[in-house]
Amino acid sequence: MTAETAGDLTVPKLLLQNEKKWADKVWMRKKERGFWREYTWKEACGHIKNFSLGLMSLGFQRGDVMAILGDNDPHWFWAQLAAQAAGGVVTGVFSSSAAKEVKYFLEHSDAKIVVAQDQEQVDKILEIKDELPLVRKVIYWDHKGLRQYDDPILASFESIEAMGVEYGKSHPGAFEESVAKGKTSDLALLMYTSGTTGLPKATMVSYASLVASNTAFYAMNPVTEKDEWVSFILPGWSAEQGLGLLGSLNRGTRMNFPESQSTVQENIREIGASVLMYPSRLWEMTAATIQNKMAESTFLKRQAFRLFLPVAYKAADAKCSGRKLGWVWWIPHRLAMFLVFDPLRDKLGLLKIRVAFTSGSALGPDVFRLITAIGVDLRQLYGMTEIGVSQHTATDIKVDSVGRIYPGTIVRINDDGEILARGGSLVLGYYKNPKATEEAFAGGWYHTGDAGHLDEDGHLYYLDRLEYINRLADGTKFAPQYIESRLKFSPYIKDAFVVGDETKSYIAAAININYDNVGHWAESKRITYTTFADLSQKPEVCELIANEVKKLNEKLPGGQRIQRFLNMPKELDPDEAELTRTMKLRRRLVEERYKDFIAALYGDKEKVSMDVPVFYRDGRQAVVRAEITVNRVN
């Protein structure tokens, strides 16, 4: 029985079915100290069962909430499945969160049990434990640095498993009975939104929503037990839950866990991953890496890349439209792949990728075309924590759209141009926030807050958040995020925020240079610099970025072209709340914090001295004085 046919399926029930079906098949692999540690379905299910019984012995009951704080690891998902098997609800907390952020998530979710990865995460919780009266136990799975800790709230993962073994002896069948009580309508996850417009809200995700979302996804994507998945996306995020965990439970794909976040690309290449999900941010970085490496390569390699790239684009455009490449182009394309693009994908760890996805912010069409051109079958997914909406199919891709609507999902555009959606994957609402639930799900439709439109072929187009669609003094409309995504195609631009409103006559931008790529470029030109701020304001670097802006302006309608920009003397940082933990821009906060930058962009001075705010992770604030160049684009 699978998610497509089950009438009352839950994730723990599917787990037990798979244990019987694939008992000795390897389900998970973790790279540890240079070696792959393998776990069969039977072995992993044993850990899950014992840990679940251990939770029951601690008094963890149906409806209780467990929070998990850590990076991707088999223990992360064992803890999740164990809690759900006991009838509990799970919420994931970003491992990069500061103690203050962790407190918000644990307090808001009413978490009673916290599972933490290591000493770093445990220390955050111990720092705030007196402010969290509901938390009964903090369980860690990595012992390093924790053996001398004697706080009674702490326990190791193994010790809870041992308690579960003893509990199972005196309560035979308790695990199986608890799993059997689960219903599709039960709450499975509290999944927090990215919080681009305020504090993150906790969406209540039922098993019914998970099953419906997964079923729709597989209707458009044939994923099988032969596929390899690398689990490195934020484990509490909907993409990792749906494509990763549910992919393995529903299709038998093998889950592989990298040794660390810094070895992801190396591990993807090593295991020969066949299915891959990168957030749009990582695809942008991949495109920047490709362009930068080509610029720094030998003369012959640069010439080969430039010669064959138009051929690759021709093949990419044919693939996206579902057309076959004519024989006149087929031979040079095969030659291009063999000589240039197969070796390039191999270096990027993408050689064996059968299908790849992008989600999060919409990926700019320039980045999408380049990644497709080098031979990656890339597909854009569009949706949010609240509901999955659309995606590209294998042979029907428009690079500036977000694909076709999922089966079972209905979309309409209201009079304000807002995308509304409803369907089986719709969540139950927001936890402890009836007002937001009533507003967002009015009339049975989820009001996405996104501006978009549908074309005559049924493709959905995402423009930007509705509240961010701006208009200049002459009435010209523009979507800041669309322009920003196009800017980030440049290997020298990492981030940007675009500004302009009804009181302004032109569009301007504040830009974050890509420090590594611009640094390499400066070194090749023998330009000396000391810091990020110093490099960003070098006249040669300002000219470099101006040329990149000019290239984009050539592709934009006249009224939507950037006329002025400045290079920010510091990077936008999630630790300073300028980006979300999923690397989305918190636009209103950034515009308010850097209002002096915006004023300079619309002033009459070419150089301005201003105080730049700096926020540290420990809560301290400082101000750095910087002289910034305002650049005009001719």
CATH class assigned to 469-632? alpha beta
**Domain boundaries, given as residue ranges, for the chain:** 11-182, 469-632
Residue 620: which residues within 8 A CB-CB, separation 6 or more? none
Q: In what order do the strands lie in the sheet with 378-384?
A: 35-40, 26-32, 254-257, 228-230, 275-279, 355-359, 378-384, 387-391, 404-405
pLDDT digits (tens, 9 = 90+) for 7-23: 688 999 999 999 999 99
Question: Over the stretch 337-349, which tens digit does the pLDDT of each residue have?
Answer: 999 999 999 999 8
**Predicted model pTM:** 0.89
pLDDT-based confidence at 194, cuts 50/70/90?
confident
Query: Do residues 379 and 358 touch, judged by C-beta distance below 8 A?
Result: yes
- Work out the angle between the directed axes of helices 119-128 and 99-109 (0-180°, nearest 10): 70
- Statement: residue 5 has pLDDT above 50: no
CB under 8 Å, gap of 24 or more: what pairs does 574-577 form? 574/96, 575/96, 575/98, 575/615, 575/617, 576/614, 576/615, 577/615
| Whole-number average pLDDT of the chain | 92
Q: Do domains 11-182 and 469-632 have the same CATH topology?
A: no
Cβ atoms of residues 375 and 343 within 8 Å = no
Task: Band the pLDDT of 611: cuts 50, 70, 90.
Answer: confident
91 contacts 202 by C-beta, under 8 angstroms: yes
Torsion angle, CA of 482/486/488/489, rounded to 10 degrees? 150
Q: Find out whether 89 and 189 touch, Cβ atoms under 8 Å.
A: yes
Mean pLDDT along residues 540-566: 95
pLDDT digits (tens, 9 = 90+) for 137-154: 999 999 999 989 999 999
Kindly tell me if the per-residue pLDDT of 6 is higher than 60: no
Question: What span, in angstroms and rounded, lies between the C-alpha atoms of 592 and 620?
Answer: 19
Per-residue confidence (pLDDT) for residue 2, from 0 to 100:
44
pLDDT for 28: 97
- For the record, the structure tokens of 287 come out as 């495109």
Predicted pLDDT at 618: 60
> Could you say which architecture CATH assigns to the domain 11-182?
3-Layer(aba) Sandwich (3.40)
Evaluate the CA torsion angle 218, 221, 222, 228 in order and state its sign: negative
Q: Which of 591, 570, 323 is nearest to 468 (CA)?
A: 591
The confidence band for 3, taking pLDDT boundaries of 50, 70 and 90, is: very low
Residue-wise pLDDT for 387-418, tens only, equals: 999 999 988 999 999 999 999 999 999 999 99
C-alpha R_g of the chain: 25
**What pLDDT score does 613 carry?**
72
Please compute the mean of the pLDDT values over residues 556-561 and round it to a whole number.
90
Query: What is the per-residue pLDDT for 626?
Result: 83
Which pLDDT score, from 0 to 100, does residue 96 have? 87
pLDDT in tens, 62-121: 999 999 999 999 999 999 999 999 999 999 998 988 899 999 999 999 999 999 999 999
pLDDT at 293: 86
